[in-house]
Amino acid sequence: MTDPFDSKRCISPNEPCATGAISTNANSVSPKDSCRNKCSLFKKKKPINESHLKFEMDLVWENLTYEVLVKGKKGEEDVYKPLITNFSGRAKAGRVLAIMGPSGAGKTTFLGCITGTISNSSGVMKGCCFLNNTVYQQRYKALTSFVCQDDIVMCKDTPREAINFSARLRLGLSKEEADQRVEEVIERLHLTKCQNTYLGMPGILKGVSGGERKRTNIGAELVTNPFILLLDEPTTGLDSVNALRVGQLLQDLAKNDHRTVITTIHSPSSDLFEQFDDLLLLAKGYTIYHGPADESVDYFTSIGYKVPSHTNPTEYYMNIMQLPEEIILELKMAWENHVASDASRNNPCLVPLTGPITTSNPDMEEIISRRYASYYLQVYMLFTRALRMFFRDSVAFVGRWVQTILFGVLFGLFFFGLKLNDEGVQDRKGSLYMVLVSGLFTSISAGVSSFATERPIFLREQATCTYNASIFFVTKALAELPFQILFPSVLCTITYFMMHLYRSADAFFSYLFIMILFANLGYSLGLFIASFFKDAQVAFAVMPAIMLPLFITAGLFSNTERLIPYWEWLMYISFPRHAYIGSVVNEFSRLDVICNPVTPTCSIPNGKTEIELLGFSDWRVWKTYVSLGSYYVGFLILGGISLQVQGMKQRRMISFVENVKDRVASPRVSAASPTQRQPPTESPLKNSQKTPQKDSALPVDKNLVNPLRSGRKH
């Protein structure tokens, strides 16, 4: 089968298809569509799960303005600075809308506004967004998908596993249904050859190519069958060939599936520009053009900005959008005059809302009601993924083995063959303390590192409501449980017998159980600490500050009386103290000290005397079990709550209802159904050869210095 993503095919829309392409007899009236119609990539394909695509969905925005508060200088008042101003427009189903603009033009802000995900705490947003005639609300986010600029993936996942994970959790599909859907997406995105290859991470792990990784990200969203697909600069970091492949893919998804596709892009090549149906140009927070991409050249010519011959229009537009603000305001006024004139009457991007506005739609509600996974499925998928990632991280797995054995042997050699005499008493206390501390720090570090690497993935999946945040935290700790039993057991076994601790099965297994509880407590604490900080380095820096007071009050460096009264409260919350006391009581309660023959009397005749001197006589080993187990469960609960709060912040969406409550139809008016699917039709102006009507009364300042203006030297 000929790969439709072959770089030798469909590179230019004005060239015939390359050898091997499958031709069709489709009539083409637009040079832009000639290659699309001839090449097999753009042949009509069956949409993914067509039963969910019974209607088209336009995204409409009205009077969007977003302002941020800027602190005034000393003696001056704070002012609101607009980042985008009075945006109105429409993204139509079956068409690709490209949003262009230089850095700081407002592209990302605009995407945040039309998806309702922009923060209202740092600014004020006005205006509204609609899905057809229905106000866009949080529960309708399941009908849209967003592909972020960075490829945030599990580097040791494969494309098939990543897409399958999204399908099962975001749609709640059975294994058979998910497998069928995933197979369709993989074939559609031409990922068959690399479907079982690690996604990888540039500079860290070799995997699929950049273009394949980007298509996998798109596939993870496409498998949910969204009506609206939004992408933030999907071609960033790709070469021209792979960028064009992504553009062809977006065109295919729009035309053949009748999806609404919106993408931001920085500076596309002329070939990539041909894949866009509509164009939105932003400059300094203003709209200077929003309409069919192939009519943009004629529009700018009509206002005196003619694209030079043999020049990529997008390069010329980028130059225009970086001109001084006075000229940008001129272009903004020119566009507003154009919108008010008859020349914009047939612009598909400026079609206003018609019919009643509603806050709910039965057809949409029916679809989103089926898009939830059960708690059991969430636990299963998250648990199996966590196990899979651990086993595939061979470097970390082997490193844990080496670290555990190395620490065990070193401690065993250092405290080898402890004696049952006065000197051996102090050595036993020190050895028990050091083994506990090393095991705890190893587990905490593992917890911090584990979550820090997955934090961006967790936040992205929370933004799409993929799963419950608390379940993620608990399943991650449970997936690590076998290894937090294995490694402490190895460390405990090596040190226990090399150091010649009390030889008793009861004493050994009690000590082993304390070590296992302590290690799991440390791992859950590491996850809890990491959940608060975006940067793992900050989490590692904070960790010693938290643990140092707890270790000082553990009982080795100071006895109980010294802590009273000022630091007594630390004794009750210091879980290292509880673990240490339990280990000491477990070891010394059975111990008889052999007196030095030179000394007439023993300073410490037996272990119980040492326990009394330390102030641990009222402690029982079972109290250590209860304490460490309670802390373990407590950190799981606190960590789950912490992630749940962060997940809510990621899922939070600005409410548009308040902005249009005076326009919403009364409950007695039935909700307007979304536009029923119709065959895609071209705009009447799309292939017209006549010059667009020139706008009258354009506010042109002849004194402005504009080297890009027609008739001036540049």
Instruction: Specify the CATH number for the domain of residue 171.
Output: 3.40.50.300
Q: Of 593, 620, 651, which residue sits at a domain end?
A: 651
Residue 703: the pLDDT is 39
Tell me whether residue 673 is in a domain: no
Quote the domain boundaries for residue 435. Answer: 393-651
Amino acid identity, residue 397?
F
Domain boundary residue, one of 596, 619, 651: 651
Same domain, 109 and 206: yes
Answer whether residue 261 is part of any domain: yes
Q: CA 379 to CA 382: how far, in whole Å?
A: 5
Q: DSSP state, 58?
A: -
Does some domain include residue 657? Answer: no
In terms of domains, do 636 and 578 share one?
A: yes
pLDDT of the residue at 592: 74
* 516 part of a folded domain: yes
The pLDDT assigned to 613 comes to 79
Tally of domains within the chain: 2
Report the alpha-carbon distance of residue 527 to residue 92 in Å, rounded.
Answer: 44
In this structure, the answer to whether residues 428 and 364 fall within a common structural domain is no
Q: Are residues 121 and 57 in the same domain?
A: yes
Residue 415 one-letter amino acid? F
Residues 398 and 363 in one domain: no
Residue 8, token pair as written in the block = 């030798």
- If asked whether residues 256 and 116 sit together in one domain, one would say yes
**Which two tokens mark 641?**
């709550």
Do the domain assignments include residue 339? no
Q: Answer yes or no: pTM beyond 0.85.
A: no
Classify residue 599: in a domain, yes or no. Answer: yes
Q: Using CA atoms, how far apart are residues 651 and 116, in angstroms rounded to an integer?
A: 10
178 lies in some domain: yes
DSSP 305: -
Q: Residue 674: its pLDDT value, please? A: 42
Residue 227 within a domain: yes
Mapping DSSP to helix (H, G, I), strand (E, B) and coil, where does residue 146 land?
strand
- What single-letter DSSP state applies at residue 208? S
Q: Which residues pair with 90 in a beta bridge?
A: 60
User: Are 58 and 144 within 8 A, CB to CB?
Assistant: no
Is the bond preceding 565 in cis, omega lying within 30 degrees of 0? Answer: yes
Same domain for 518 and 572, yes or no, is yes
Is residue 256 domain-shared with residue 108, that is, in the same domain?
A: yes
Mean pLDDT by 10 residues, the chain (714 residues): 39 38 36 43 46 74 88 78 89 94 85 78 82 88 87 90 93 88 92 92 84 91 91 87 90 91 89 93 92 93 90 91 91 92 87 85 83 88 93 88 93 87 80 90 90 88 88 90 92 93 90 94 91 85 84 68 68 86 88 65 74 80 93 91 86 74 54 40 34 39 45 40
Q: In this structure, are 364 and 487 located in the same domain?
A: no
Residue 514 sits in the same domain as residue 599: yes
Phi, psi dihedral angles at 396 (to 5 degrees) = -65, -40
Whether residue 63 is found in the same domain as residue 198: yes
Residue 544 confidence (pLDDT): 84
Helix (H, G, I), strand (E, B) or coil at 85: strand
Q: Which of 683, 80, 688 is nearest to 348 (CA)?
A: 683
Exposure on the CB side of residue 651, measured as CA atoms within 13 A: 20
CB-based contact 369:452 (threshold 8 Å): no
**What pLDDT, on a 0 to 100 scale, did the predictor assign at position 532?**
85
* pLDDT for res 595: 66
Last residue of a domain, one of 602, 625, 651: 651
Q: Answer yes or no: do 451 and 567 share one domain.
A: yes
